[in-house]
Amino acid sequence: MTRKACVIGWPISHSRSPLIHGYWLKRYGIAGSYERLPVKPEELSAFFSSLMANGLAGCNVTLPHKEAAFRAVRTADAATARLSVVNTVFARDGELWGTSTDGEGFLASLAAGHPGWRAAGQSVVILGAGGATRALVGALLDAGAGRIFIANRTRAKAEELKRDFGCRAEPHDWAEASDLLRHADLVINTTSLGMTGQPALEIDLGNLPNTALVTDIVYTPLETDLLKRAEARGNPIVPGLGMLLHQAVRGFELWFGTRPEVTDDLYDLVARDIDPGYRR
């Protein structure tokens, strides 16, 4: 039987998920398909109602559907219940279930990109408090991180994270970002700053201990200015592309029954799709 999955979003043309899942289907010799499917917000409910009848094993969900999908399906785990968003939907026993794989993808990317890295007891500075931040805060706290300092332009959104995740998540003003870096074992940019076409992330790294690991969830460009500057002063870095690849692992396993590996080969394939001039 050919298993089918897809990624839904509006718009969806930019998604690299078909490249990732297509690579794994071929690599593991699985008779399956993974397509891009544009779904408008007003079509979402009909899409889910007919998902199983259309022979789909499930789907990835991207903007703007992550919250609506959470409400439309059963929540598969407690970590996802706290996030109120899903990025992965799968059919089981005649019902649709949803989960968020961003947190585990983020942790797996750090473990792969910086072997030996552990969240336990680490102080983390997070820049930004947008949609992507919640999954990271949840995963880091579940993995035993110590204090998480969150600096955001709209402070109220950082306050919300404290309300939802407890006082180990500390809200701060954006203006405090550079100063907070002195506490960091790990720094994560979750803002859109530094992304191709967006304004630069202007932050002074002078206070940052040079042992601190620096990562960015932005992966266009593959190495953001933040990562370049951190690397130039001797800090270890993990680029954002790893998270995109690792968050895809559980969906593939749920739909196609094989837990796939994130290999250098896959990394290079997707990196070259983003930047044809990429060299390992």
Applying CB under 6 A, which residues contact ligand ATR?
A: 128-132, 152-154, 157, 174, 191-193, 199
Which of 58-97 are b and which e, b meaning 16 or more Cβ less than 10 Å from the residue's Cβ?
bbbbbeebbebbbebbebbeebbebbebbbbbbbeeeebb
- For residues 186 and 215, give the distance between their C-alpha atoms in angstroms, rounded to a whole number: 8
Among 4, 66, 157, 162, the one annotated catalytic: 66
- The one-letter amino acid code at 255 reads W
Q: Which is nearer to ligand ATR, 51 or 177 (CB)?
A: 177
Q: Report in angstroms how near the CB of residue 168 gets to ligand ATR at its nearest.
A: 19
- Residues in CB range of 34: below 8 A, 6 or more apart: 4, 5, 6, 7, 17, 18, 21, 22, 25
* C-beta of 10 vs 174, nearer to ligand ATR: 174
Nearest residue to 102 via CA among 125, 118, 86: 86
In whole angstroms, how close is the CB of 153 to ligand ATR at the nearest point? 3
Residue 92 CB, shortest distance to ligand ATR, in Å, is: 29
Whose tokens are 């954006």? That residue is 174
- Evaluate the omega torsion of the peptide bond into residue 64 and state whether it is cis, within 30 degrees of 0: yes
| Residue 157 or 182 having the CB closest to ligand ATR | 157
Residue 128 CB, shortest distance to ligand ATR, in Å, is 3
Residue 107 or 151 with smaller CB distance to ligand ATR: 151
228 is known as an active-site residue: no
Which residue number, 62 or 255, has a Cβ lying nearer to ligand ATR? Answer: 62
Nearest to 36 by CA among 65, 15, 58, 62: 15
Give the three-class secondary structure for 37. strand
Cβ proximity to ligand ATR, 33 vs 84, nearer residue? 84
Closest by Cα among 224, 218, 222, 228 to 275? 222
Nearest-approach distance from CB 200 to ligand ATR, in angstroms: 9
User: Which residue minimizes CB distance to ligand ATR?
Assistant: 130
- CA torsion angle for 110, 58, 275, 214 (degrees, to 10)? -20
Report the Cα 65 to chain-centroid distance in Å: 15
**Dihedrals phi, psi of 223, to nearest 5 degrees:** -120, 110
φ, ψ for residue 125, nearest 5 deg: -110, 120
Query: Could you tell me the smallest distance in angstroms from the CB atom of residue 95 to ligand ATR?
Result: 29
Residues with a catalytic annotation lie at: 66
